Amino acid sequence: MVKAAIVGATGYTGEELIRILVRHPQVQIQHLIAHKSDHNCPVSKIFPWLEHILDMECSSNIDVEKISQTSDVIFLALPHRVSMGVAPDFLNRGKRVIDLSADYRLKNIDEYQKWYASEHKSKEFVPDSVYGLCELKRDAIKTAQLVANPGCYPTGAILACAPFLKKKLVDPEIIIDAKSGTSGAGRAASVALLFSEVNENFKAYKVGSHQHTPEIVQELGEVAGEAVQLTFVPHLVPMTRGILSTIYMNLRENISVFEAVDMARKFYLNEPFVRVRDADVFPEIQDVVNSNFCDIGIKVDQKRLIVIAAIDNLVKGAAGQAVQNCNIMFGLKETLGLLP
């Protein structure tokens, strides 16, 4: 039985981790720690759906020594810029850490400091961190001490593009048009996320300046073996969860949609959480919500390849992928706790 602690247990991602792990047959939650100091009570008082399921105390105190002595893995469901101040305490004690923030994803520290407007406080751990996109980094994840769980937008986008960049079928100039539900912004109060601001509205935001841009460029560049030029436009839609990404890539050679689908299916052969649809059949958010699947649809439009990917941003884009990483790290069946 793998013993786990969740630091940052009261945010949307923390709650989703709890939801998955309380039914996981091989992982036992040992500690729940809130990010905000106003939580110091049974977790069922914070999330009433947990009553008679998990009545564990949710503490506002990060007792590093106690947590380290009784936990095999630490999930850090903390905001960007906060994790890097917490992770070293556990890493220096030999604990395995899965960080759901962006603090260890970017290998170029200057890029991190530029896009996140913050000096990195524990940059010495960045070189050995493993980017936790399970389908592409499984072997490195198995032995990693620190896994940098991917961002929600990058997860769908990278999985959609990887088969075609790897085969050099498309130019490394990519346009990503992505739409996300409001939970992607976290649980903290914000005027922009008020019901009256979001309801019956639809808008682009952080056009050309979203912090996930360098993450996507970094990982797709590694897959392609060459620099990638990216145009990334995220949008906010009036729904709670889910991301639909429509991706445009220029083909280097003529190919039918059937050949493209076959290429993607071979690339993800035996991958339990990537589902490639038939030619000209496209996924919808409702197909993947509350699941760890990434569904992919493909269209060939003259000399352009259009790939559409759908994920649940809180599951495959965050907590579900973190549990998938945990399963890999501890030699468990990868789908444990993640299938209906």
In the predicted structure, residue 38 carries a pLDDT above the cut 70: no
| pLDDT for residue 146 | 98
Active-site residue, 152 included: yes
Q: Which of 179, 148, 5 is nearest to 80 (CA)?
A: 148
Q: What is the pLDDT of residue 37?
A: 61
Per residue in 193-233, pLDDT tens? 788 888 889 999 999 999 999 999 999 999 999 999 999 99
Q: Please name the amino acid found at residue 42.
A: P
Question: In 275-289, which positions are buried (b, 16+ CB within 10 angstroms) versus exposed (e)?
Answer: bbbebeebbebebbb
pLDDT digits (tens, 9 = 90+) for 271-295: 999 999 999 999 999 999 999 999 9
Give pLDDT, residue 55: 87
Per-residue confidence at 190, pLDDT binned at 50, 70, 90? confident
How do residues 113-137 score in pLDDT, each as one tens digit?
A: 999 999 999 999 999 999 999 999 9
Residue of 152, 161, 294, 326 marked catalytic: 152
Average pLDDT, the chain: 96
Rounded percentage of the chain residues whose pLDDT exceeds 70: 99
pLDDT confidence band for 40 (50 / 70 / 90): confident
What domains lie within the chain, and their CATH numbers?
Answer: 2-150+317-329 (3.40.50.720), 153-314 (3.30.360.10)
Q: What is the pLDDT of residue 9?
A: 96
Pairing status of strand 130-131 against strand 146-148: parallel
Predicted pLDDT at 186: 78
CA distance 2 to 30: 10
